[in-house]
Amino acid sequence: MKRQIPKIFQRDSLRQNWMLVALLGTISAVVMTAIYGSNKPLPANVSYEGRQHRIDHVRFLEDHTYASPAGSKIVEQEIFDTVKQDIEEAEQFIVMDVFYFNSEHDEGEEFPPLTRRVSEALINKKEEEPDIEIVVLTDPVNTFYGAYTPEHFQQLEESGIEVIFTELSVLRDSNPIYSGFYRTFVQWFGNHGRGWLPNFFTSDAPDVTLHSYLEILNFKANHRKTLVTEKAGIVTSANPHDASGYHANTGFEVRGAVLKDLLATEKEVAEMAGRSREKFDSFISQVEVPEKNGKYGVQLLTERKIKERVLKEISQLPRDGKLRMGMFYLADRDVIEALIEAAGRGADINIIMDINEEAFGNEKIGIPNQPAAHELVERSNGHINIRWYHAEGVQYHAKMMMMEKEQETVVIGGSANMTRRNLDNYNLETDVVVTGSNDSETVKNVRSYYQRLWNNSDGTHPGLQQA
């Protein structure tokens, strides 16, 4: 006689089967979400490559902090002096897109008031000329991902300036395993309620929510640093962020048709946040394009198009070619391999790197630059020359590469570090490629800047050390 299984055990077995099905379904949902999130189609004009424009106005900008012979601190902020000037000279519109834009830092520390300085310049401009359109795009890191709104953003909006916080969920996921979990379970709940967790940026800022901490682990950002009006544009590595006020940075001021490309890429960021494209279309129509065949070639690149151009330039370096790089972070495997291969062909490569031992007063352990530098020097048999920019309280925050050729020099610079997040379509980034003859003013200024640092020619950068 066949033994009958008691119904209670049948129910337990059925319940276990359903639990297993539910578990497998949940895992599948997370995995599929992770795969899609890291490979989904990009919004239009993300990973953008503009055409090369011939223009006459290209100005190299640089910021430095160093000690005078008497020991006092000297802060040169050519970039934000130019930002303020371009804001004052605008007549039709101003569009600014910046990553860090806040004044938060620990009590007792003193930094240049860059956030207030730039905010006041924008507000004063709007008060003096109420009809001018001003749009500020920025990363939600400045609100700790929706936990609170800093006062200067409220003041900007009260003055009639449009503030747009980038909708990062539209971008691909750089941390797909975590983001698959986040998109499946967390994102639907929103960021509501009073914060109760400490703010790790600074103890003086408001407390934040658990949701804010969960969102930061997605590791994505609008990392751009641009300003554009109908007359001029700036592409830089510098943030209007108080705690970044002493950092060494570089940038370019440009004029002409390339401004239309800048606006096309910023229009997409506004649309990602649900804003109308029509306003930016009107801005594009107002751009002044006086140059027809200028002495500089200027091309706008964003996201992965930056990486493609960097790799192309490195691969084309001849045996006697010269490459000069100044970089805050260098970790991208493709770039590292390309540099080692170029050195093996006999190219002359010098790199200035931040030593990655300090950030906003906090100690770091040299990641990622120190391991990358060791590999570059060792695998190139010492043919890649590296020097550390090491000065207390100062980061070498530049992101620039220069290829010196027989007749001309090509410079790539802007917001993008040489890392996977910056170059593989995860962050939003903006760089320009400037090509000019070796005797042109801008090329000579860039070369002079690099030699000043590499050789410590004026004695103002004593922290520069051989790797």
**Per-residue tens of pLDDT for the chain, all 467 residues:** 455 555 554 556 666 677 777 777 777 877 888 888 899 999 989 999 999 999 999 999 999 888 777 777 888 899 999 999 999 999 999 999 999 999 988 777 889 999 999 999 999 999 999 999 999 999 999 999 989 999 999 999 999 999 999 999 999 999 998 898 888 888 877 776 677 888 877 777 888 888 888 899 999 999 999 999 999 999 999 999 999 999 999 999 999 999 999 999 999 999 999 998 899 999 999 998 876 789 999 999 999 999 999 999 999 998 889 999 999 999 999 999 999 999 999 999 999 999 888 776 566 778 899 999 999 999 999 999 999 987 777 899 999 999 999 889 999 999 999 999 999 999 999 999 999 999 999 999 999 999 999 988 766 665 566 66
Contact in structure between 60 and 298 (CB atoms under 8 Å) = no
Q: Determine the Cα–Cα distance for residues 238 and 395; give it in Å rounded to an integer.
A: 11
| Same-domain check for residues 165 and 259 | yes
Residue 11 lies in a domain: no
| Helices 114-128, 78-89: inter-axial angle, 10-degree rounding | 10
Contact in structure between 59 and 232 (CB atoms under 8 Å) = no
| Same-domain check for residues 267 and 323 | no
Residue 23 lies in a domain: no
| Same-domain check for residues 366 and 277 | no
Contact in structure between 305 and 299 (CB atoms under 8 Å) = no
Q: Residue-wise over 4-26: b if at least 16 C-beta within 10 A, else e?
A: eeeeeeeeeeeeeeeeeeeeeee
Tokens in use for 430? 């903006």
**Domain containing residue 361:** 296-466
Alpha helices in 316-357 (DSSP H): 333-344
| Same-domain check for residues 277 and 157 | yes
Q: Determine the Cα–Cα distance for residues 175 and 421; give it in Å rounded to an integer.
A: 9
| Same-domain check for residues 225 and 189 | yes
Lookup result for tokens 């090491």: 390
Number of domains in the chain: 2
| Same-domain check for residues 240 and 353 | no
Report the CATH number at residue 122. 3.30.870.10
Q: Terminal CA-to-CA distance of the chain, rounded, Å?
A: 84
Q: Determine the Cα–Cα distance for residues 172 and 164; give it in Å rounded to an integer.
A: 20
Tokens in use for 308? 């493609």
| Same-domain check for residues 201 and 133 | yes
Q: Determine the Cα–Cα distance for residues 9 and 397; give it in Å rounded to an integer.
A: 66
